[in-house]
Amino acid sequence: MAVTDAPPRDLALQLLKALSETDGPLLSAEAFPNSTFTEVKAALDRLASREMVQYEPLERDEAILEPEGEQIAAHGSHEARVFEALRQALDGLTVQELEKAIGDKNVTKVGQGKAFKEKWISKTKDGKLKATVRLSFLSKLLGLYLVD
């Protein structure tokens, strides 16, 4: 049950009303999503000082993706996007072609740096970027050979 748009002065009254309409504990973050922690805490402290309520704070951490995190979750990491674009271009790509293929200059810049660091990509003699394949320890152990 969410109580919305409660002005701070009426929040104590809204808290009492919400508590009277529920049988179990009331999670303030869900019941009062438009109120800040400080506002809810102040209202609860006022009510507790008058012995109208007793409360026990419950703390929890919530992981919320930033816009960049949402982009990575949807499309993959910057370096993976660079690697995949170069892997699909068998003859390699110039930086401008890579930017056009990925569609985001910042993703290209960051991804290119990380992909170079991980040795996922390299520069060809003619200056193009190319995906490289390193043999992992496991593939060497199993006798698998990857063609570059």
Question: Which pLDDT tens digit goes with each residue over 61-82?
Answer: 878 899 988 988 888 899 989 9
Helix (H) or strand (E) holding 122: strand 121-123
- Do residues 78 and 98 make contact, with C-beta atoms less than 8 angstroms apart? no
44's CB contacts (< 8 A; 6+ apart) are: 15, 28, 53, 55
What is the rounded radius of gyration, in angstroms, for the C-alpha atoms of the chain?
28
Domains and CATH numbers, the chain: 1-62 (no CATH), 67-142 (1.10.10)
Helices (H) and strands (E) in the chain, counts: 8, 2
Split at pLDDT 50, 70, 90, the class of 23 is confident
- The identity of residue 28, as a single letter, is S
- The pTM for the full model equals 0.55
Q: Which two tokens stand for residue 72?
A: 């990575």
